[in-house]
Structure 1
Amino acid sequence: MSRELGTVDHGRLLEAFRIEARLLGEVAHTASPDVPVLATPGWTLNDLLQHVGSIHRYAVAWLRRGRRPGRWRTAPAAGESVAGFYESGHEELAAELAAHDPETRAATWWPADPTYGFWRRRALHETLIHRVDAERAAATGVPAVPEDLATDGVDEALTLYFGHRLTTMGISGTRHGTVGFHAEGSHPGGHSWIARAGPGETEAWRCAPSEADTADAVVTGSPATVYLWLWGRTPVTATHTEGDHELSAQLWALLRLATR
């Protein structure tokens, strides 16, 4: 039985990771390595590229050691360029992921999905969101996010980061309440979720649109808009919110802690 927990199949995730990794590398070649990255204050484009290269190696180390790595290579070797460090990192991770069935068990940091498939999804979204950051830094135009990947990214941000990571960090909201989400794309009816927060609880799940509409606040936007909103790449006002705006702002602020 498939263990896919997202909204996109594993083959698409791996293909998209390769594409996003290539695009990020290409963007980095179009601008000065010292250009600032607004989404990550204090970082330059070179810093961003090195960070993503490090994260790719972090994932490889998790998979090969079968546990959270204590150490992994986070910077270029002597004489190696940042671009070279980045390229070899994403190529190594793509090869590692392609060599194993996505349903094969693997060490991860989410008990709900202890498989290689988890890392296909995580690698894609880590790379995609930073490709958006790089395109904005390089001023190459308005970044495009494919609708299917954006929808899956909304699901990951809510179920993995909001619903799981905040709990492991011991962080929760100060107000009880629910926030519904509608990602309105070309899919009939779109996709919907509910996130619940309050002292001692953070959880989120996919649901029917009618269930999302019963939440105390309802956030609506295109899949790409909601995705970038959840990752803090757009202002808190970028989506349309009905109901309790303080609850949606609380969720947005909690995700800033979970995804930093």
Structure 2
Amino acid sequence: MRTSPTTTVRSCPDWTGADLLAHAAGFCRTLDGLFAGQRDATAPAVVVTPDEALTTFDDDLDRLLALLASTDPRRPVPNWSALPDEAVYWVRRAAHEFAIHRWDAATTQDDDPVPVPADLARDGIAEFFEAFVATAFAAGYAEPAEATLIFEITDTGEVSRHDLPHPGPETHVSGTTPELFLAVWRRRDPTSFHTSGDRTPLETWPQI
């Protein structure tokens, strides 16, 4: 991000590398405020300018990593999701936030970025459904449906089932763990992994 500040992020074309760095710095500072009890979890994220992020991001990241490492995972810390208000939520969220944005940053220089590690991607898929999708349904941001997504993960042989939010006709997708992680965050077209069943749940994926 710092090495390509003016280059368009191919996976997020509204951003340059500096914009992406500013977003990441804002995430770090937002968590500082939440852990200190100085912010509401539903408030907008801290805004950091791209110019500022170019000079402060290393310190912002170091401070966040130290904070997460030194905090009891079960300590109460608010979050915006339907999951428990515990620090461990943010440890997990930070891991996936930086995983996807590291991949985004690589698109400024590489047509085929190194995939997100499979173990991290596997939990990232689970987090998407457990936090983002479940919260969207609970809060009324997404229209409930009787539909089920079946993820057939080719590199591990695992199959995971995700109701939206009620079980119903099955839509099957197939791909590697890193590919499907990118698909849930629309860095890849979810429909390109479709193998059987109604494509509509993939075309109208809950927009988080």
Shared fold per TM-score greater than 0.5: yes
Matches within 5 A, 1:1-260: 28-31=1-4, 33-65=5-37, 67-68=39-40, 70=43, 73-75=46-48, 81-139=52-110, 141-172=112-143, 176-186=146-156, 189-196=157-164, 202=165, 215-251=169-205, 254=206, 257-258=207-208
Gaps of 5+ in 1: 1-27, 197-201, 205-213
Superposition RMSD on alpha carbons, in Å?
2.6
Q: Distance in 2 between matches of 1:169 and 1:98?
A: 34
Displacement over 3 Å in runs of 4+: 69-73
Alpha-carbon displacement from aligned partner over 1:94-118 (angstroms, at most 9, x marks no partner): 1111111212222122242221110
Say if 1:83 and 1:140 are closer, same or farther in 2 by CA, change over 3 A. Answer: farther
Distance 2:79 2:122 in 1: 22
Q: Separation in 2 of the partners of 1:42 and 1:248?
A: 23
Q: Residue 89 of structure 1 aligns to which amino acid in structure 2?
A: D
How far apart are 1:90 and its partner, in Å? 1.4
- Taking structure 1 as the reference length, what is the TM-score of the superposition? 0.71
| Residue-by-residue CA offset, 1:114-163 (whole Å, 9 max, x unaligned) | 21110001111111111111101222742221110000000011121111
Residues 1:88 and 1:73: Cα distance change in structure 2 (over 3 Å): farther
TM-score for both structures, normalised by structure 2: 0.86
Alignment coverage as a number of residue pairs: 207
Deviations 1:3-28 (A, max 9, x none): xxxxxxxxxxxxxxxxxxxxxxxxx2
Query: Which residue identity is paired with 1:194?
Result: H
Q: Identity of counterpart residues, as a percentage?
A: 25
Shift of 1:220: 1.6
Tell me if structure 1 keeps the 8 A contact 2:172–2:196: yes
Between the two structures, name the one with larger relative contact order (CA 8 Å, sep ≥ 6): 1
Measured in 1, the distance between the counterparts of 2:171 and 2:44 equals 42
Deviation string, structure 1 residues 19-71 (Cα, Å, up to 9, x no partner)? xxxxxxxxx2443x110112223211000100111011112211111652657
Q: In structure 2, how many angstroms separate the alpha carbons of the residues matched to 1:166 and 1:41?
A: 28
Q: Is contact 2:2-2:18 (8 Å) kept?
A: no
Greater CA drift, 118-127 or 63-72: 63-72
Once the two structures are TM-superposed, the CA of residue 215 in structure 1 deviates from its matched residue by: 4.6
